[in-house]
Every structure is written in C-alpha cells, then in structure tokens.
Amino acid sequence: MQRTVKEILQAKPTLEGAGVRLKRIFGYYHIPRLDPFLLLDHFGSQNSEDYILGFPWHPHRGIETVTYMLTGEVEHGDSLGNKGVIRSGDVQWMTAGSGIIHQEMPQIYNGFLQGFQLWVNLPAKQKMMNPRYRGLINDDIPTIEHQDATIKIIAGTIDDVHGPVQDLIVDVEYFDITIPAGKTFICRTKKGYTTATYIREGKGDVANHKIEPQQCALLTDGDSLTINAQDTLRLLFISGKPLHEPIAWGGPIVMNTQKQLDHAFQELEVGTFIKQSKTVKPSTEFYTQ
C-alpha cells in the first residue's frame, strides 16, 4: 500500500541554545504526531554570528539526540568524559538515558556550516538506562546507489547494507537521500512506522504531493513511498516504530509523567541528576532550553 501525505510541516526560524539561529522542522507543539520522534532542527549559515554562541553545558534525560553534520565542525564534550569534534559528514548518536550534561559548540567555518539534530524518545522502561555515546565518522557510514538515488544510511538497512548503529533502543531508519533531476525513487517502508521526509534542497513530488525546500511531509501508513525529483532533490528520510506512551516534556528532559519530570528538575537543582560520570563538569552554569 502506497503512503500518501498526511500533513506538510514548514520549518520555522527559531533561536535556540545560547543564541543559535536555526529552523525547527517539528518539535514540542507537534507531539505525539511524529512518535517516536520528538524534534528535528536544521541549523546552517555562512555567518558565524548565527551559530558561534552554540549550545553550552546543558542536561538531557529520557531521550536520544542524533547530530548529523553536513558541512562544518562542532566541538562537543559530556559528563561521561567524551569529547571531540563532529566534522562534515559525521554523526553523533547520544543516548541521554538517566541523565547526561553536554555541550555542542559550532566552530567558525569558511563556508556554509550546516547540519541537523534529531531527538528520538526513549520508552518508559529505558528512560533511566545508563547513558552512552557513539561518534560515527563519515567513513563509517555507508553510501549506496539504489535505483537512481544515492543514499547515506545512518540507521536502518537498504539492499542488505546496514547503518553503523546496530543496537538501537527504538527501531529507527535515518537516510540522507539524493535523487537526480527527472528521476523517480520508490522506497520500501515498514508498515505501522511513523515516516516523514524533509526536503533540504530541490523540488519534487512526495507521494504525488508537490513539496518545496524546508518542508517536511508526514506520511500516512503503508509499505512504500514514491518520490519524483523535479530538479536534484536532497532529502532526509526518517521512520520509527511508535512508542504509544504518554509524554511529559520540559525543555531538554522528556519523561512519561509530570511527577517524573518534576523529580528530574529537582535532582538537577540539588546536584543528583547525573547517575554516571567519568569527569566533573567544568561549570555549574548551564542553560535548560
């Protein structure tokens, strides 16, 4: 059964972190329509003033954050002791679980710095799991030619080629797809999974619905999706198994009940939020947006 377009979401300018200008594709006001996904941001600019203030030390609990850099560099560090640089083509897959404090600081880039951050909700029984971090360099992430499309497989499987993250808590597919002008791509999809596409460049038809850059198509259920490229079309494809659980969301923390959420912020205030740590966070000042 072919999927059709249920809803078109337009990315909206948003100020986040310590003053980063980005476009929010979906977020708090769209829950639970994209379950298990919570948020997708598209950040990018040639002007370093739009991103250089970055995302200083801040907490997360109950979610996974997936940072995908198209171009540019972001320095990161966290309360587990991980630190490094996410470079062009790299992905950082961070599972906050019971609690992590980290920072992500874009570096001045001679060109158009651009990337995405996706939030994936964790199920109730894994909300308080041990946090973990996975840094994937560009060379770790397979890119294949399938039909007439070029597909970077961040998570999921196409043509028996698997994305590099094999032990996901929630079954998620995450592809970066390029379709040449005039070509058609038919994607097999998992029935019952929430599925959406975000057009980052180009124009075309998604399930016979015209779609423009910076628009996200949320799709109906089905087992296949047809995409036609009017000109070279570059898009993100995400699909995930819904959790069908209640959501209590406060800034960087997502739990199942308001009581759990209040408890998390109380722990943050008294200093018992972090359950696992390899290093001491260098500052007690952080933002919580």
The full set of domain ranges for the chain reads: 11-140+264-277, 142-245
H-helix or E-strand spanning residue 258 = helix 258-270
Under a CB-based contact definition with an 8 Å cutoff, are residues 138 and 88 in contact?
Answer: yes
CATH number of the domain located at residue range(s) 11-140+264-277 in this protein: 2.60.120.10
pLDDT tens-digit profile of 53-101? 999 999 999 999 999 999 999 999 999 999 999 999 999 999 999 999 9
Top CATH class, 142-245 = mainly beta
pTM, full prediction: 0.95
How far is Cα 52 from Cα 170, in angstroms, rounded to an integer? 32
CA 76: distance to chain centroid?
16
Closest CA to 199 of 3, 62, 30, 11: 11
Domains 11-140+264-277 and 142-245 share a fold: yes
* pLDDT per position as a tens digit, 22-50: 999 999 999 999 999 999 999 999 999 99
The confidence band for 277, taking pLDDT boundaries of 50, 70 and 90, is low
Residue holding tokens 């018992």? 272
Q: Give me the amino acid identity at 37.
A: F
**Whole-angstrom distance, CA of residue 167 vs CA of residue 157:** 13
